[in-house]
Amino acid sequence: MLELSHVNMKFGGVNALSDMTFHVPERSLTGIIGPNGAGKTTIFNIISGVYTPTSGNIYFQGSDITPLRAYQIIRLGIARTFQNLRLFTRSSVLENVMTAAQNRYISSFREEIFSGSVTQTHSPDPSCWYNFWESCFHLGRWGKTERKLRETSLELLDRVGLADRADQAAGTLPYGMQRRLEIARALALSPKLLMLDEPAAGMNPEEVFELNDLITGIHRDFNLTILVIEHHMDLIMKICPHIICLNFGAKLAEGSGEEIQNNPEVLTAYLGSDEEGE
């Protein structure tokens, strides 16, 4: 579904990512781990179009998305959350989710009559769309669409356990709830690929346990492919059947949790080698 091929990212003289190549299969739940500064968030920033890679290509569902801008990539069905929360803090919790829900896009395949080639086009979901004049006068599709957006958003909030906080300003929520709101907001885009950037950062063990269920739950129910960056090893080992381990911008190892845990290179990267210590 998602494929990175020989991606390099340089910031000035620093190689944040070098020759990164991996493949995320459809419907998988993949974890990315690595020590601080290994380039995990850079991978997300490159996939979601915040940065354009120095070289290499990224393919999503077979098409090259490397040159696309962030908002275009989102419209293809890739949504993400942020390590350092980026909510719309002054809007209400409900509005945060509605802001994302109004941007649903539908991809359809169109066959060119003459060349016979199939191109994928993306158009706004007509059920959450209305034009400028309808917003100015609250006429036409406005009422129906707003009601629908509100309903779908409330359902998502209910799913992450924030329905009773819907009217509160997003910036006033406790930290763990803000993280869950970010997940709800990303889900509101009805993505095909969801990227979670350290969803458990700053959570206590109980909250991490709940998050466990939430992630596996949405993976099951929303027909999603999920990519998770995480520091909590127990979380990642428990929920991700497939793990990629990074160090210094390069892929160190890839495989199941057990394989990763027993890989000597990974152990060296995390714990330091014996020779170095002496």
Partner 1 sequence: MKRNIILILIGLCLAFWPMGGYQEGIVILMCINCIAAMGVSILTGFTGIFTLGHAAYMALGAYTTAILTVRYGVHWFPAIIAGGLMAVLLAWLIGVPTLKLTGDYYAIASIGLGEAIRLILENWQSFTRGARGFPGIDPYTTRSTAVVIFVFLMIITFNFLQSRLGRELKASRDDATAASLMGFNTPRTRMKALVISAFFCGIAGSLLGGYMSFIQPSMFDMMKSTELTAVVVFGGLGSMSGTILGSAAITLIMEYFRDISQYRMLIYGLLLVIIMVFRPEGLLGSNEVWDLWGFLKKWRRKKNA
Q: Which residues bind partner 1 (CB under 8 A)?
A: 48, 50, 69-71, 74-75, 79-80, 82, 86-91, 95, 98-100, 102-103, 105, 129-130, 132, 134-138, 142, 146, 185, 189
Q: Are strands 29-33 and 242-247 parallel, antiparallel or unpaired?
A: parallel
In a 3-state reduction of DSSP, which class is residue 33? strand
Tokens 């970010």 label which residue? Answer: 182
Q: Are strands 118-124 and 29-33 parallel, antiparallel or unpaired?
A: unpaired
Question: Residue 135 or residue 268: which is nearer to partner 1 going by CB?
Answer: 135
Q: What is the number of other CB atoms lying within 10 angstroms of the CB of residue 197?
A: 22
Ramachandran bin of 39, using left for φ above 0, alpha for ψ from -120 to 50, beta for the remaining angles = left
Q: Are strands 78-80 and 250-255 parallel, antiparallel or unpaired?
A: unpaired
Name the minimum Å distance from CB 248 to partner 1: 26
* 252 burial level (CB within 10 Å; 0-12, 13-18, 19+): buried
Cα–Cα distances (Å) from 205 to 201, 202, 261, in that order, read 11, 10, 21
Q: Is the separation of the CB atoms in 48 and 80 below 8 Å?
A: yes
Question: Residue 55 or residue 72: which is nearer to partner 1 going by CB?
Answer: 72
Name the minimum Å distance from CB 166 to partner 1: 14
Name the minimum Å distance from CB 138 to partner 1: 5
Question: Residue 99 or residue 216: which is nearer to partner 1 going by CB?
Answer: 99
Question: Residue 87 or residue 243: which is nearer to partner 1 going by CB?
Answer: 87
Q: Which two tokens stand for residue 44?
A: 């997300």
Name the minimum Å distance from CB 265 to partner 1: 33
Query: Can you name the residues that pair with 17 across neighbouring β-strands?
Result: 9
Name the minimum Å distance from CB 205 to partner 1: 28
Question: Residue 61 or residue 168: which is nearer to partner 1 going by CB?
Answer: 168
Question: Residue 129 or residue 270: which is nearer to partner 1 going by CB?
Answer: 129
Name the minimum Å distance from CB 41 to partner 1: 13
Name the minimum Å distance from CB 144 to partner 1: 13
Question: Residue 14 or residue 136: which is nearer to partner 1 going by CB?
Answer: 136
Alpha carbon 176 to chain centroid distance?
A: 17
Question: Residue 78 or residue 245: which is nearer to partner 1 going by CB?
Answer: 78
Query: Can you name the residues that pair with 120 across neighbouring β-strands?
Result: 109
Q: What is the number of other CB atoms lying within 10 angstroms of the CB of residue 277?
A: 7
* 146 burial level (CB within 10 Å; 0-12, 13-18, 19+): middle
Name the minimum Å distance from CB 9 to partner 1: 17
